[in-house]
Amino acid sequence: MNNMWGDMAQYDPVTWNWVIAVYLFMAGLSAGSVLIGIGMRWYSKDKLTESPILKAAAIIGPVAIILGLACLVFDLTKPFHFWVILVNYNFQSVMALGVLALLAYTPLGIAYGLIVLRHDLPKWGLGFLVPVAQMLLEWRKAIEVLLFILAIGVGAYTGFLISAMNAYPMLNTAVLPALFLVSGLSAGAAANAVVALLMFKVDNHDNELKRMHGLELPVMATEIMFLFMLFCALYFKGGAAAAALASLTTGVWAGVFWIGVVGIGFGIPLVSMLMPAATRHTKGAMLMVACSGLTGVLALRHFILYAGQSYIY
């Protein structure tokens, strides 16, 4: 009998824990929020006014990635030696390429946040940053384009990072980068809605909010498609890869998938679409749907990471 197949719980195979799952969630959330915010600005006819959705993205983008990186650093065996990876690069390493992308993405996200929020800084006691924001304003277009490109890279990188773990059939699939990028868009849209509704007093008649709400179904459908592709790939690969599908029916992570990902993450938003428009677009309903979307994406990151490490070749 090959002891390397099937349920490996007795070997405690998990090397990347919940801290890494939170980091993956935060990185995807940041990238998705920025992509949604900038993309909707480019789509909008009014480019002179900073919309509540863009303001929300300007806050979420840098804050989420900084919190995610803090999780990553303090998960290290020697967290105060994190700077070593910043000066030693192996360009054949996915992690090293990701670090380079994050080194550019994080300060650009902060700079773009200052530009977008320049009129709000004084009321938050940050008026001293207004001259910096005004100085950066003339570089807005270049910063915006670079940040958008880097956000795509950061969103996909979280999937590339764990797909490089060759010993785990569920993780070592080409679908993960696309799945993580799309689920990051879902989380980003949800977080933008929450912050816009709570911080910038946007109402349910706001056109930007309605347009972003309209993205929910196509993004969710794409996310479901990539999940289906992932499970089909495991099934047709056979052997240990097919055995990993047991994570959908047995153990605690099956519950996380069906309750957290499917029931809360997909089910509540889909059911809300059956509600009358007047009810669906109330502040309470939109907050509930957004929070369920965030919960679903966080559950998906945990399911992929933990269930994926429970089955090896």
Q: Which of 240, 207, 196 is CA-nearest to residue 2? A: 240
Structure confidence at residue 77 (pLDDT): 59
pLDDT at 234 > cutoff 80: yes
Sign of CA dihedral 165, 170, 173, 179: negative
Structure confidence at residue 180 (pLDDT): 95
* Residue 288 vs residue 94, higher pLDDT: 288
259-275 core/surface letters (b: 16 or more CB in 10 A; e: else): ebbbbbbbebbeebeee
Q: Is 234 exposed, middle or buried, given 0-12, 13-18 or 19+ CB atoms closer than 10 A?
A: buried
- When pLDDT is cut at 50, 70 and 90, the band that residue 2 belongs to is very low
pLDDT in tens, 23-63: 999 999 999 999 999 999 998 877 778 889 999 999 999 99
- Mean pLDDT within 175-179: 93
Q: For residue 246, give the amino acid letter.
A: A
Cβ count within 10 A of residue 233: 15
Q: What is the mean pLDDT of the chain?
A: 86
Q: Which of 120, 129, 181 is CA-nearest to residue 154? A: 181
DSSP per-residue codes, 199-244: HS---TT-HHHHHHHHTHHHHHHHHHHHHHHHHHHHHHH-HHHHHG
Residue with tokens 């277009």: 141
- Mean pLDDT within 297-304: 95
Q: How far apart (Å, rounded) are the C-alpha atoms in residues 43 and 291? A: 25
Rg over alpha carbons for the chain, rounded to the nearest Å, is 20
pLDDT at 275 > cutoff 90: no
- Mean pLDDT within 118-144: 94
| Residues sharing a CB contact under 8 Å with residue 125, sequence separation 6 or more, in sequence order | none
Lowest-confidence segment of 25-34, 258-267, 273-282 by average pLDDT: 273-282
Most confident of 70-84, 179-193, 201-215: 179-193
pLDDT in tens, 178-194: 999 999 999 999 999 99
Task: Give CA 280 to chain center in angstroms.
Answer: 24
* Whole-prediction pTM: 0.88
Structure confidence at residue 92 (pLDDT): 64
- Mean pLDDT within 252-269: 94
- When pLDDT is cut at 50, 70 and 90, the band that residue 83 belongs to is low
Structure confidence at residue 209 (pLDDT): 81
Q: 139 by DSSP, 3-state: which?
A: coil
Sign of CA dihedral 24, 28, 29, 30: positive
